[in-house]
Amino acid sequence: MKNWAGNVEYSTQDIRHPASTAEVSAIVVDAGASGGQVKALGSRHSFSTIADSVGTLVALDELAIEPSLQFGDDGVAVSVRVGAGSTYAQVGAFLAARDLALPNLASLPHISVGGAIQTGTHGSGVRNGSLASSVLALEIVRGSGEVEIVREHDPDFAASVVGLGAVGIVTAVTLRVEPHFQISQYVHEGLSWRNALANWSAIMSSGYSVSVFTTFQGENTHQVWSKRRLDRDGPELDLAALGATEAKVALHPLPGVAANSVTGQLREPGPWNERLAHFRSEFQPSHGEEIQSEYLIPAEHAVAAIDALRAIGDRIAPLLHISELRSVAADTAWLSPSYARDSLAIHFTWKPLPAEILTVLPLVEHTLESFAPRPHWGKVSTMSPARLRRAYPRLDDFAAHVRRVDPAGRFENDYLKRVLPHD
Ligand SMILES: Cc1cc2nc3c(=O)[nH]c(=O)nc-3n(C[C@H](O)[C@H](O)[C@H](O)COP(=O)(O)OP(=O)(O)OC[C@H]3O[C@@H](n4cnc5c(N)ncnc54)[C@H](O)[C@@H]3O)c2cc1C
């Protein structure tokens, strides 16, 4: 079996689909009895080998955990407990039907909650943290088969919520919810880099969630996607006054690709769960003809980093479908790429040319080096363990935590052996 993009073939054919947390525990105990390894598998949307295993893969997609709401003393819903294998599309539909919302979504709603939070997956928005920052509690099956609940204020929480699948198999996740809100989404084309960079902070703060798409070539950005919250966002920044043109038809971020898969644009107000992701949940995205990489840098270096990447635009463009620039607010999860710093996320959607990509990534990483880039765990990077250690200040603490909660290395795989520091 392969990942969604087809660039990773899993090293095992032993893939289970347990229906209950008790079955997950039994699988982990069985694997332990034979000295084998075991790993949670989400919706297979990672591009790195993070989800691989030579032992048993445990997919959570058939886990029979129905979403359940928790209420405050005033009778208002404060959180929802969902099965970790649920997709954000499923959770979004459940919440929207009850007039509730999550604060943010990634670009694709088909991704599992467990897999997204474990890798620090994010959307955009200067005040929106990664998806893991909505987590209030995790139910985790440890290597012994025991089930542990780790809550927001527990000492282990910051090491567990973005846990790279290394701390156990998460069977249920409790997410903070808020009242339902509506979003109006629209796209501008042709914003010049000169005006974009002169007004960068204002542009990224001009909506609830803003994305700038680019190939890093030429004098203009490709598209600016603005997602405005109708209940909250203040006066709009006039991108037309900065020389951009508002699109009159719906647009896909990739030039020349039909827009039938994108969420509603053209300012048509819609529920949060049908606007915050770029792609519609009812549209089955094809098995990706793409590979992705992403690096998060401190937001204050945005303009300098973009300038540096534009200077190598001609080197990267031949391999690039498109890049996306987003904002992510700081959070507290040790391995979150936006840990303790408001960030600019610099994403690359590459053409499906794995060997060629491995030759250009060192150039990209070198270009970003002075901005202390943190690679996305679920995407492809060539950063050495030593550089990862510099980029992620709590990596040693995380590795020590993993040794404590998984002393037998039951959830280890080759990826973790490579990226985590050893004693
Ligand atoms: C088209 C596309 C769009 C994307 N858009 C975005 C985006 O907008 N923003 C962004 O940040 N990323 C994005 N990604 C990357 C994606 O969000 C991450 O790779 C994410 O980890 C994928 O989740 P998954 O459920 O597929 O996990 P998998 O790839 O299956 O697994 C990833 C890791 O999570 C672990 N894991 C999975 N489930 C559990 C569990 N229940 N318990 C413990 N560990 C678990 C696995 O062991 C593995 O280590 C995108 C990917 C694709 C293909």
Please state, in angstroms and rounded to a whole number, the distance separating the CA atoms of residues 111 and 121: 10
Q: Whose CA is nearest to atom 27 of ligand 1?
A: 115
How confident is residue 124, by pLDDT bands cut at 50, 70 and 90? very high
The pLDDT of residue 287 is 62
40, β-bridge pairs = 58
Does the Cβ of 6 fall within 6 Å of ligand 1?
no
CATH dotted code for 182-377: 3.30.70.2520
The pLDDT of residue 283 is 85
Does the Cβ of 207 fall within 6 Å of ligand 1?
no
Q: Which residues make Cβ contacts (< 8 Å) with residue 177, sequence separation at least 6? A: 69, 77, 78, 79, 80, 95, 100, 101, 102
The pLDDT of residue 328 is 98
In this prediction, residues 342-350 reach a mean pLDDT of 98
CA–centroid distance, 322 to ligand 1, in Å, is: 20
The pLDDT of residue 256 is 86
pTM of the model: 0.97
The pLDDT of residue 422 is 86
Please state, in angstroms and rounded to a whole number, the distance separating the CA atoms of residues 326 and 344: 6
Residue 155 CB neighbour total at 10 angstroms? 9
The CATH-assigned architecture of domain 68-180 is: 2-Layer Sandwich (3.30)
Q: What is the DSSP string of 263-277?
A: PP-TT--EEGGGTSS
Q: Whose CA is nearest to atom 19 of ligand 1?
A: 46
pLDDT digits (tens, 9 = 90+) for 286-329: 667 899 999 999 999 999 999 999 999 999 999 999 999 999 99
Atom of ligand 1 nearest to the CA of 106: 8
CA–centroid distance, 120 to ligand 1, in Å, is: 8
Query: Letter for the amino acid at 217?
Result: Q
pLDDT digits (tens, 9 = 90+) for 381-405: 999 999 999 999 999 999 999 999 9
If DSSP codes are grouped into helix, strand and coil, which group holds residue 211? strand
Strands (E), 190-267: 209-214, 223-229, 245-246
CA–centroid distance, 256 to ligand 1, in Å, is: 27
In this prediction, residues 330-335 reach a mean pLDDT of 98
Atom of ligand 1 nearest to the CA of 411: 47
CA–centroid distance, 113 to ligand 1, in Å, is: 8
CA–centroid distance, 235 to ligand 1, in Å, is: 35
Does the Cβ of 277 fall within 6 Å of ligand 1?
no
The pLDDT of residue 35 is 86
Atom of ligand 1 nearest to the CA of 50: 49
